[in-house]
Structure 1
Amino acid sequence: MAEFRMPSLGADMQSGKLLEWLVKPGDVVKRGQVIAVVGTEKGDIEVEVFEEGVVRALLAAPGTEMPVGAPIAIIESEAEAEKVATVLASRPADVTGEATKTVAEKVTAVPASRPANGQRIRVSPLARKLAAELGIDLSQVRGTGPQGAIDKADVERAAAALKAQQEAPPPAPTQPVEAPAPPPPAKPVDKSSAEFQAGMRRAIALAMARSNREIPHYYLETRVNMAKALAWLEAENLKRPIQNRLLPAVLLIKAVAKALTQVPQLNGYWIDDALQVAEAIHIGFAIALRQGGLVTPAIHHADLKSADELMETLRDLIMRTRAGRLRSSELTDATITLTSLGDMGVEKVFGVIYPPQVALVGFGKVTEEVWVENGMIGVRPVVYATLAGDHRASDGRTGAEFLDVLNRLLQEPETLFSA
């Protein structure tokens, strides 16, 4: 049997709150299947499992805060499950029944609560049990616990209010009296939003403090003539309906991914005082949240995707990031980070590497600048590309080679998506 542990969903994460199980004991799970939802400082994350088997036990109830690495479930491989079934089948009926009863007593199912509209209700196990006993509809209860979770006190208040409503005498008939106009309602304070922003800032601060403390950064920048790249993009978009047109970010993501195939030293992690170069290229794309903060989910295998696949992946990631519906692999798999602030008018970005990654690429906005080429002076659309590198893993020469390859790829945009 294998222990499924609370995953680390970022360099800053020390613990996570189990919000919901999406499986129950006895369920068969496949690799990549989402089995739980975990609350972190950066939002609610769908956690995937990376082994196949049968869920034998859930070791943590929804609402429980668990440290990273703590066992939260037991998953038995399908081969082990078949062996157990064979052994039980070969025993006498009374023994098999007793063994089954023992296993059932050890396995605690934690059902998820969902109202009719399909939205998830966060509720503590004790509150859920009490609500069932008192006949309280949890979808009508306002939670006051962490992240709006319903606790025992919330259920008790709802039960008291329901009882008072049932026992109250009918109102006596009275002459209508014109009441004074009520004062305008005070604007409610969105505590959950404020708490989320505070948590997000705290998580980012912890990660960046670690980065500045542990990583000896070096920075390089170069100017890239984007005339050919933008011309190619315009021609490609003329072939597509408006809803399927490509953003310039697609070109930048693909160029970074292809450049990493030629300079792989920047694609990986610094772990145990050594560079571990990653085979797959997963670009972490920085996405700003509307309520504040930043998340960098991974675009998996960016070097292998077509232009349309990259655009669809990017659109989907942005939507799910801002809706708080990312998967654990999207938060942990990035092998390098790409950030672009061109839409905010920023010309140059000097980022901070997200540990344990060893590099970060930044792009500013495209501006028209004087450009000298073949002895001729002209005006070209230019973008500044920057690189933040970890001096433990690479040096300036490696970084310069990467930027040179990146520049050359953007001068031949038609080759970026060729086989």
Structure 2
Amino acid sequence: MGDFRMPSLGADMEAGTLVEWKVKPGDAVRRGNVVAVVETDKGAIDVEIWEDGIVDALRVEPGTKVPVGTVLAVVRGTGAAAAPPVTAAAPAPPAAPELARAPQPPPAPAVAVAPAPHGRVRASPAARARARELGVDPALVRGTGPDGAVTVADVEAAARGAAPAPPAPPVVPAPAAPAPGPPPIRQAIAAAMARSKREIPHYYLGTEIDLSRALGWLAAENARRPVTERLLPVVLLLKAIARAVREVPEVNGFYVDGAFRPATAVHLGVAISLRQGGLIAPALHDVDQKPLGDLMRELNDLVARTRRGGLRSSELADATLTVTSLGDLGVGTVYGVIYPPQVALVGLGRVQQRPWVVDGRVEPRPVMVATLSGDHRVSDGIRGAQFLAALERLLQVPEEP
């Protein structure tokens, strides 16, 4: 019997909202199956399960936001007995209806004045003028003059006895709307980067790499391929980075609980910009082991799913080294911030024609600046320099697997 819990989909994630179940109790599942959709600051993520078994019970309803680590479902092995059903709590009794309030009688007028017995109000011109000045209706004033005529004194007495109109409430301006805060994904990036700079002692290295051999080989390789299967330079760079990791494994892994845990595979997190702003770095898996054609197809698929939604939880949680490339935006050099708990980040700038000395003569060559941001708790400048040297050397022999 095992618990399927809300996964951590990044170092900055504290909680997630269960959007949808893809399974129901009694369904058989296998490792890697998508069983739920979870909404995080990075968007809607397809969450995979990490063991074979049978879904025994679902513990969280769709629409519920729960912290990382919360049990979402119970999964039992195929030979295990089913867990007893969870008894739902008895519903609370309905609240007693609120007693209706007794109607309050309307307040009596401050001055009760009987109208004159005749259809026309008997009042002197002076009384009428005084009534206009004081805002008093003569028809509502009890006259004390001859035959019930309204006098000036009657009007003034009525004005003195009438309840004053309540003052108009002061006009209170509506409070200004609070300035909109940053979107959730920007808040998530800020939290992760602040943690990185607070906890990780960074060091930075950079080198210029002549890409003439690599790009020449790529042009010849693409000429042999159908248009739909041609390769972009980035996949060649990613493969070379993954191969360099084999020589300097200290840049590939996680720093957790005060110790470095080297990764057994090379899953490169590829920084992808989002159309609504921000970026995300899902993992391209086993980059060191795959042919370039497979990497190109997987990269295209990864970029498309990142921008439309549909990433898998494993693609967000298990990148072992992140690569950021800003060359297509014209950036010559980028020194990135390590994404914890990873221990390094590789930055790639744009390819530009630069004067380059070859066999004692100066030639224009396509040159790119590659950088490494390293975690000094795990590696040092010597090992970082060896990694960049390995990357440069491998890009001079792009035909090697």
* Residue of 226, 231, 236 corresponding to 2:221: 236
**In the alignment, is residue 318 of structure 1 matched against residue 285 of structure 2?**
no
Q: CA RMSD for the aligned pairs?
A: 1.6
For residues 366 and 323 of structure 2, the distance between their equivalents in structure 1, rounded to whole angstroms, comes to: 21
* Residue of 294, 298, 307 corresponding to 2:279: 294
For residues 245 and 393 of structure 1, the distance between their equivalents in structure 2, rounded to whole angstroms, comes to: 38
The correspondence of residues 40-51 of structure 1 with structure 2, limited to 5 A, is 40-51=40-51
Name the counterpart of 2:13: 13
* Residue of 371, 376, 379 corresponding to 1:394: 379
Partner SS state of residue 294, structure 2 = helix
**In the alignment, is residue 23 of structure 1 matched against residue 23 of structure 2?**
yes
Task: Select the structure that is richer in helix.
Answer: 1
Partner SS state of residue 348, structure 1 = coil
Question: Could you report, residue by residue, the CA deviation over 1:26-68 in whole angstroms, capped at 9, with x for unpaired residues?
Answer: 1011000000000000000000000111111110000000000
Name the counterpart of 1:174: none
Give the % identical residues.
56
| 1:372 positional shift | 1.0
Structure 2 regions of 5+ residues with no counterpart? Answer: 90-179
Name the counterpart of 2:195: 210
Using the size of structure 1 for normalisation, the TM-score is 0.72
Q: Is the 8 A contact 1:360 1:389 kept in 2?
A: yes
The correspondence of residues 138-149 of structure 1 with structure 2, limited to 5 A, is none
AA of the residue aligned to 1:220: L
Partner SS state of residue 39, structure 1 = strand
Partner SS state of residue 321, structure 1 = helix
Name the counterpart of 1:75: 75
Larger radius of gyration: 2
**In the alignment, is residue 220 of structure 1 matched against residue 209 of structure 2?**
no
AA of the residue aligned to 1:21: W
AA of the residue aligned to 1:343: D
Name the counterpart of 2:339: 354
Partner SS state of residue 353, structure 2 = strand
AA of the residue aligned to 2:228: Q
Corresponding pairs, count = 311
For residues 208 and 79 of structure 2, the distance between their equivalents in structure 1, rounded to whole angstroms, comes to: 57
| 1:12 positional shift | 0.5
| 1:373 positional shift | 2.3
For residues 107 and 367 of structure 1, the distance between their equivalents in structure 2, rounded to whole angstroms, comes to: 66
| 1:106 positional shift | 4.6
For residues 88 and 242 of structure 2, the distance between their equivalents in structure 1, rounded to whole angstroms, comes to: 45
Q: 1:55 to 1:242 in 2, by over 3 A?
A: same
Q: 1:50 to 1:379 in 2, by over 3 A?
A: same
For residues 71 and 255 of structure 1, the distance between their equivalents in structure 2, rounded to whole angstroms, comes to: 40
| 1:107 positional shift | 9.1
AA of the residue aligned to 1:67: P
Structure 1 regions of 5+ residues with no counterpart? Answer: 85-101, 109-193
For residues 322 and 235 of structure 1, the distance between their equivalents in structure 2, rounded to whole angstroms, comes to: 31
**In the alignment, is residue 59 of structure 1 matched against residue 44 of structure 2?**
no
Name the counterpart of 1:121: none
| 1:374 positional shift | 2.3
Partner SS state of residue 79, structure 1 = coil
